[in-house]
Structure 1
Amino acid sequence: MGKIIKGVILGIVNVVFIWIALYLLSAEAYLVFVLLLLGALLTNVIFMLPKAYPYRYLLPAAFFLLLLVVYPIVYTVYISVTNYGTGNILNKEQVISQFEGRYALEPDSDEFVFQAYRDPQDSLWLLFTDSQGEKMLGHRGELTRLRENDPLLDQLAGYTELSRVDLVRSTNELSAQSFAYDDTHELRMRNINVFNLYLQQYSYDRERDALLEVQTGIVYTPEYGYF
């Protein structure tokens, strides 16, 4: 009876080994696959050979020692000498999107002081004034240039103007605002007092499969998947 129970347990363990092995093969984790095979072979030998009986009591401890102590140490050392990290596991489209989302302050940018308002729906409206006194209204990424006595100014009068304290509390929301000023510039928050014009740092040319640094004209082409 004892041999039957031992055989059933060993069979279940082997089924688990096979299931994990198939998964490792599909994931192309060949090193772990080989280690698993060695572990499975060792487990079967220990349970099948009478002379290996004492090692049955050491096997669980050895397994958890390898899993919780040895493997983390080896893996940490391996990762420390490779280029594997969260910044290096993005696909190409994600990398291009990140580069194209970078903006640099335009050196000769005018400063735009602003007043912030909230409408009854808690939506943010920004009234910009440049150094020449011209006004623009920003809302949901769009800029509207205002004329003198523009009806939109009367509309703002019905909204709640944010105080200095409110602006500080809304810093994250304000810093996330961006408005298309022209074909190449965006109006973005520089500090709690002003917005400035920012220029896109990189532009991707799909025909040449190259990344262009807009301000310097330097062209980056991918090598082995990296720009």
Structure 2
Amino acid sequence: MGTVPTSEAAAALELDEVRDAKKSRFRLPPKDPDVNRWGPGFVVKLILMALVNAFGAYVIFVSFTKDSWGIFAAMLALVLFADWVYFSGRTIPLKYILPGLAFLLVFQIYTIFYTVYVSFTNYGDGHNSTKSAAISALLMQNENRVPDSATYPLKVIQDGGELGFAVYEDGEVLIGTPDNPLHVEPNAVASDGQITEVPGWEILTMNQMVQQQQEVFSVRVPVSDDVNEGAIRTSDGSTGYVARSSLEWDPDAGTMTNIDTGVVYTDNGRGQFESSDGQTLSVGWRVGIGFENYTKAFGDSKFSGYFYQVLWWTFAQSLLSVALTFLLGLFLAITFDKKIRGQKIYRTLMILPYAIPGFISALIFAGMFNRSYGFINQVLLGGAQIPWLQDPWLAKFAILFVNLWLGFPYMFLIATGALQSVPEDVTEAAKIDGASAWRQWRSIKMPLVLIATAPLLISSFAFNFNNFTLIYMLTGGGPSFGNPSVPLGHTDILITMVYKMSGIDGGATKDFGLASALSILIFVIVGTISAIAFRQTRKLEEMM
């Protein structure tokens, strides 16, 4: 038998255990094995972080020069945080999740917030920049040569990608660029009234000017800091003249005056200069306009009618596409669920349309549906002239048909997997209880299949709600509604409407504010429907 510890020994032992527990409580976590150890891993990390810091410094510098203070602050904080995480021995978990968080911040959160910001502005044609840039553009666009102005010997100079002028006047050489007004260059060399050397600049030859003549002829070098004094322009690359705008900017009064007509234009608070009789100058600037872009979609009589047509068709094609592809895929899954000869071959053939890129299939079907020489009209229908893509209803049918072809293999795969996951003992028990095949399907198999496929059906709805590729490649949104001021068609959905409103495809108008508002609207619609659908899916699981 062992000895029984005395009360004093037991107390000492308990005291030692308490001390050990306290020490373990305050023990520092294990340090990163890379830190303070010049092994290969630390060297590689040092090189990678140097590249990250170099890229971050470049973005910080550019955002600082462009007065983009939000990007400046976010990038500075992100770089400093990354350095702390990867050079600290106490942040091991963050080292694994920081890259994902950074990409989420840059490509998701920033994009969403910027889209929301643009949706509350008039950003678009005539309102692309700041007020100061708009003033400069107006003065430049209305420039004309000053009558009876002198002609100056001139050389086009270049430093890197920056062009400027060197002008000879009264025995002095003056140089300047679009961002730096004319000023005397004392070290320049001139001979017989011709400039031969400008320190730090390259004087372009005639061949060099011909290669970039469009850029040369568009250069305007301000005469002084006063924008109303005009600028030096050239039409041949060897002589210059003073051009002055017919508009005069008064920074104290904040007005723009046409010196030929005397009309005064003032800031109307909506990003434009406007006269007392309602005339506006062509170039404006970006300002906030509140919820105007959101109300325009619903309240503008010229726009709202087409918007509602596009909205209902977006819902209709999304719901019908999901329903049709799921029903066909489920039917084929049930058909090939039984053991039949060549089952694997049939299943492989079923998923072939899914293996072909969607945009290629859409382009092929666009050719097949061609009215004059398409395969469907010429071969299958014996030379018929059916306007598949020119008639509104036939074009919608064509979209649903092609989407059915592209989507049923995916539904066939998920339905096959759901059917094979149904427990056999459940169906066997139902057979023993005397349930018919239909009863087994309605009460057992179908609910289980819906539980397994419901999240995928919701994601399929979201995909078809934004199925830009199919619409753009097959019909381009056409046929048109017939209103040239609203570049929309009968098969446009909200996402193609956003694309056309943005004017990226070379459309007549660019309205980024309205396009951003519609993007937010799509996000809200899809998010709301998905949330409701997922909640109903959970209720179905609870019932089972």
Task: State the structure with more CA Rg.
Answer: 2
Q: Please report the TM-score for the alignment, with normalisation by the length of structure 1.
A: 0.45
Q: Please report the TM-score for the alignment, with normalisation by the length of structure 2.
A: 0.21
Q: Which has the higher helix share?
A: 2
Q: Which has the higher strand share?
A: 1
